[in-house]
Amino acid sequence: MEAVRSQRKSSVSNGVVTTLPLYRSAPLLEVRLEDFELYAIDRLRVLKGISDGLSRGKKPDEMEKLVLDLWKTNMRHQHSSEVVNKDIISHFVLRLVYCRTEELRRWFLSMETTLFRYRFRDEAPEVQRALMAEFDLPYKAVSNAEYESVKDKLNQVARAIGQSTTTDAIFYKVPFEEVPELVAGRRVFIQKGNAYIAMNQVVSLVITQFRSHLSKALVLTNRKWTSMIREQEKDRLAPIIEALSTSYLGPDYSQPREHAEISLKDIDQIAKSSFPLCMRHLFEKLREDHHLKHGGRMQLGLFLKGVGLKLDDALAFWRAEFSRKVGAERFDKEYAYGIRHNYGKEGKRTDYTPYSCQKIISSAPGVGDHHGCPYRHFSEENLRAALTRMGVGNRPLEDVIDKVRNRHYQLACTLTFEAVHGSSCDAGVNHPNQYYNDSQRILESQNSSSNPKGTAAASM
3-state secondary structure the chain: CCCCCCCCCCEEECCEEECCCCCCCCCCCCCCHHHHHHHHHHHHHHHHHHHHHHHCCCCHHHHHHHHHHHHHHHCCCCCHHHHHHHHHHHHHHHHHHHCCCHHHHHHHHHHHHHHHHHHHHCCCHHHHHHHHHHCCCCCCECCHHHHHHHHHHHHHHHHHCCCCCCCCCCEEEEEHHHCHHHHHCCCCEEECCEEEEEHHHHHHHHHHHHHHHHHHHHHHHHHHHHHHHHHHCCCCCHHHHHHHCCCCCCCCCCCCCCCCCCCCCCHHHHHHHHCCHHHHHHHHHHHHHCCCCHHHHHHHHHHHHHHCCCHHHHHHHHHHHHCCCCCHHHHHHHCHHHHHHHCCCCCCCCCCCCCCHHHHHHCCCCCCCCCCCHHHHCCHHHHHHHHHHHCCCHHHHHHHHHHHHCCCHHHHHHHHHHHHHCCCCCCCCCCHHHHHHHHHHHHHHHHHHHCCCCCCCCCC
* 425 annotated to a ligand binding site: no
* 278 annotated to a ligand binding site: yes
Binding residues for [4Fe-4S] cluster: 278, 357, 373, 413
Binding residues: 278, 357, 373, 413
